[in-house]
Structure 1
Amino acid sequence: MDRWFWCDSSLSSGEAVAASAKSIRLYDGDKKTGYEDGHLTLTNQRLLWRHESQSSSLGVATEPANSVKASGSKKIHTGILGIERDIQKKQEAASQNISRAFEDLKNLMGLAKDMVSLSRSISNKIKEHSVSADDTTQFRSYLLSLGIDDPVTREKYGSATQYHHHLAREVARALEEPVQEAGGVMLLSEVYCRINRARGLQLLSPEDVVQACNLMRTLDLPLSLHTFESGVQVVQITGLDQDKVVKDTAQVLACHEGDGMSAGDLARECGVPLLLARERLLQAERCAQAVRDESSEGLRFYPNLFFSRS
């Protein structure tokens, strides 16, 4: 009721009655008011309510009125047709914006491919001029961040089997060096993130990545999928000596014989993910190279002195 005001019941210049009704009660939201059994009149500018005993009316300005004021008394055609036209205009504008966005996206993809080709050319020239290994490694990391210039897609191959075979080779080729730099082992979740980052817009589903990694061993690729007893899956260098990994873990534990190590401690010292550090400690325990101590402070591992002195 805040917008209602008392006004003259007579129509002003340019005001015309659109509809009227009798015996109308006014409500303030859900609440009844004392304004009941009145005559309601809808004009092109106002909504008027008047009881027969009153000379003046309660009125509120309509919206087809606000439009007239805003446009300098220019008459605006409304109704269902006007609404449909307005919706159509908005849809056309949205369609044009989407089309422009996809055009920009295509141009960006084209430029990205050119940049990757240029980077590979420069990388080859760097090798020919015997630039330091550190510079070459750094440049290769830049190259990986730019992405794969011709990623494997389903459209290129007639069957899902052929698609996953080629995808396995692409993943192994793109991530062999990063896996080696990570100590020879990389969590499957990180593999998924890295390969999608390298592919840019041609994103892979988790299922496609898992199926491709499952094929690595049969295709005799430099990387292969390994599953720990806990179910954690990693991609590792093919032929990675698990005994050596256990031995290296035991050597790190030996340096902390007094206070032991948690998975977080090993992760920080060896620079590996927390989940992978925990798997290394559990694997060392299964091989009798480590023992555990569970307390209120958490789970810690110690070198197995019983085994080493037996």
Structure 2
Amino acid sequence: MDRWYWCNSSLTSGEVVSTTVNGIRLYDGDKKTGYDDGRLTLTNHRLLWRHETQSSSLGLHLSLVVLVEEEAGSFTSSPKLLLHLAQPPHSQPAGPVAASSNSFIKLSFKHGGYSSFHQVLQKAIDNHGWEKAPSLPCNYGKQPGGKAIHTGILGIERAIQAKQEETNQNISHAFEDLKNLMGLAKDMVSLSKSISNKIKERSGDVSADDTTQFRSYLLSLGIDDPVTREAFGSETQYHHNLAKEITQALEDPVKEAGGVMLLSEVYCRINRARGLQLLSPEDVMHACHVMKKLGLSLNLHTFESGVQVVQITGLDQEKVVEATVEVLNCHEVDGVSAGDLARDCGMPLLLAQERLLQAEQCAKAVRDESSEGLRFFPNLFFSRS
């Protein structure tokens, strides 16, 4: 309420009434005030509120209005207009409140009409009629000394535009730095390969394990020359070379994961290794489909449930089932859920569930469905037959 000031109801030079509405109550933020059931007049310069028993009016200059929002009513409350306001100038006349902790007010419309009033109010704010003819002796929109401050919608638009220009410049500089960084990264990967080869050729001081670990650290910088669609004349060649790149980059991680990796994880890992040269899910899918045809060390496998994984070529499924059965045998009494297997073997939950179902299909496991969920047990009937 500290943005309102006491004034008479007479219009100033150049001021024209736009619309008038009755039954308006004023709010200070979300708090009701005693200024109820008044007549609200909108001019091209101000909002004027006056109760019929009062001789003076409360005025609010439109240059202080930053944003107007509608607040729908309910069974117990009237619809309202929420006005976000800028700080008033020091030269503003006295008002009903010296200072307020709220930066917005509300206008409650008991008899409706708030949407149409909102439209007229927004039009008056956009027209900036107060700039064409000053309505009050105080210098609204100016600081002491004559320096203009940008208030209202125009000021916000100018501030946003300036911020956008600054952001665009920062983004341009950032991309220039990123290009330089990408160039340095390629040099670093090439250097890492050269150093790794030289260390591997040396004998004596450096062990094979140290050499392997050093190479792993350096090559984790990423793929130095990723396959791109523009480098090949056809989709087939592109996907064939992409399949080779995925195999080369992920063969060791797949082995470390037990020989099987979910296709979703393959997609995430290869894109992380490629940096800005990102692949679409369709390209990764097509590349994985041709792995078996090309005789690569990785290939795509689809479970009966439809879950797809990339696995080591020639992976012995019987050994995978036996490894799952070993875990079941360790929990013969309580059984094993997919979450238990995932936690014990360090694998994704979805893959753990597929392994339990695979063991069940091979008659090595049986299931127990209860209110506690789905658990698997070793098939003792099969083992004792």
Provide the C-alpha distance between the structure 2 equivalents of 1:295 and 1:49, rounded to a whole number of angstroms: 69
- Offset at residue 153 of structure 1 (A): 1.3
Provide the C-alpha distance between the structure 2 equivalents of 1:23 and 1:215, rounded to a whole number of angstroms: 72
Provide the C-alpha distance between the structure 2 equivalents of 1:55 and 1:264, rounded to a whole number of angstroms: 76
| Alignment-mate amino acid for residue 194 of structure 2 | S
| Alignment-mate amino acid for residue 228 of structure 1 | F
Deviates more, 1:167-176 or 1:204-213: 204-213
Deviates more, 1:132-141 or 1:220-229: 132-141
DSSP 3-state at the match of 2:376: strand
DSSP 3-state at the match of 1:158: coil
- Offset at residue 219 of structure 1 (A): 0.9
Alpha carbons of 1:34 and 1:126: their partners in 2 closer, same or farther (altered >3 Å)?
A: same
1:118-157 equivalences under 5 Å are: 118-129=191-202, 131-157=206-232
How does the TM-score come out when normalised to structure 2?
Answer: 0.65
| Deviations, residues 167-212 of structure 1 (Å, cap 9, x unaligned) | 1110001001111111111111111111111111111111111111
Question: Do the aligned partners of 2:4 and 2:59 also contact (CA within 8 Å) in 1?
Answer: yes
Residue of structure 2 in register with 1:205 after alignment? 280
Residue of structure 2 in register with 1:19 after alignment? 15
Provide the C-alpha distance between the structure 1 equivalents of 2:57 and 2:368, rounded to a whole number of angstroms: 86
Provide the C-alpha distance between the structure 2 equivalents of 1:245 and 1:238, rounded to a whole number of angstroms: 14
| Deviations, residues 13-42 of structure 1 (Å, cap 9, x unaligned) | xxx934344996686569985457x89684
Question: Do the aligned partners of 1:116 and 1:146 also contact (CA within 8 Å) in 2?
Answer: yes
DSSP 3-state at the match of 1:302: strand
Residue of structure 1 in register with 2:292 after alignment? 217
1:79-98 equivalences under 5 Å are: 89-98=162-171
Alpha carbons of 1:242 and 1:78: their partners in 2 closer, same or farther (altered >3 Å)?
A: closer
* 1:109 and 2:105 are equivalent in the alignment: no
| Alignment-mate amino acid for residue 186 of structure 2 | K
Instruction: Identify the match of residue 358 of structure 2 among 283, 287, 292.
Output: 283
DSSP 3-state at the match of 1:229: coil
Structure 1: gaps spanning 5 or more residues? none
* 1:254 and 2:329 are equivalent in the alignment: yes
* 1:179 and 2:233 are equivalent in the alignment: no
Structure 2: gaps spanning 5 or more residues? 28-34, 64-130, 132-138
- Offset at residue 142 of structure 1 (A): 2.5
| Alignment-mate amino acid for residue 3 of structure 2 | R
Residue of structure 2 in register with 1:306 after alignment? 381
Deviates more, 1:291-300 or 1:107-116: 291-300
| Deviations, residues 199-231 of structure 1 (Å, cap 9, x unaligned) | 111111111111111110011111000001111
| Alignment-mate amino acid for residue 103 of structure 1 | E
Question: Do the aligned partners of 2:25 and 2:38 also contact (CA within 8 Å) in 1?
Answer: no
Instruction: Identify the match of residue 72 of structure 1 among 124, 145, 155.
Output: 145
Provide the C-alpha distance between the structure 1 equivalents of 2:42 and 2:243, rounded to a whole number of angstroms: 79
Residue of structure 1 in register with 2:312 after alignment? 237
Instruction: Identify the match of residue 270 of structure 1 among 339, 345, 352.
Output: 345
| Alignment-mate amino acid for residue 114 of structure 1 | D
Alpha carbons of 1:6 and 1:192: their partners in 2 closer, same or farther (altered >3 Å)?
A: same
DSSP 3-state at the match of 2:276: coil
How does the TM-score come out when normalised to structure 1?
Answer: 0.79
Provide the C-alpha distance between the structure 2 equivalents of 1:56 and 1:299, rounded to a whole number of angstroms: 77
Provide the C-alpha distance between the structure 2 equivalents of 1:247 and 1:72, rounded to a whole number of angstroms: 86
Instruction: Identify the match of residue 193 of structure 1 among 268, 275, 278.
Output: 268
| Deviations, residues 45-101 of structure 1 (Å, cap 9, x unaligned) | x88899xxx997754456353432x26224689999999877765554343222112
Question: Do the aligned partners of 1:225 and 1:235 also contact (CA within 8 Å) in 2?
Answer: yes
The higher-RCO structure (CA 8 Å, 6+ apart) is: 2
- Offset at residue 151 of structure 1 (A): 0.8
Alpha carbons of 1:229 and 1:132: their partners in 2 closer, same or farther (altered >3 Å)?
A: farther
| Alignment-mate amino acid for residue 356 of structure 2 | L
Instruction: Compare the two structures and name the one with the higher helix fraction.
Output: 1
| Alignment-mate amino acid for residue 17 of structure 1 | S
Alpha carbons of 1:47 and 1:170: their partners in 2 closer, same or farther (altered >3 Å)?
A: same
Question: Do the aligned partners of 1:254 and 1:303 also contact (CA within 8 Å) in 2?
Answer: yes
Percent sequence identity over matched residues?
Answer: 73
* 1:3 and 2:3 are equivalent in the alignment: yes
| Alignment-mate amino acid for residue 229 of structure 1 | E
- Offset at residue 129 of structure 1 (A): 3.0
Alpha carbons of 1:103 and 1:71: their partners in 2 closer, same or farther (altered >3 Å)?
A: farther
1:153-168 equivalences under 5 Å are: 153-168=228-243
| Alignment-mate amino acid for residue 237 of structure 2 | Q
DSSP 3-state at the match of 1:201: coil
| Alignment-mate amino acid for residue 287 of structure 1 | C
Aligned length: 299
Question: Do the aligned partners of 1:19 and 1:41 also contact (CA within 8 Å) in 2?
Answer: yes
Instruction: Quote the RMSD (CA, aligned, Å).
Output: 3.8
Question: Do the aligned partners of 2:192 and 2:219 also contact (CA within 8 Å) in 1?
Answer: no
Question: Do the aligned partners of 1:144 and 1:198 also contact (CA within 8 Å) in 2?
Answer: no
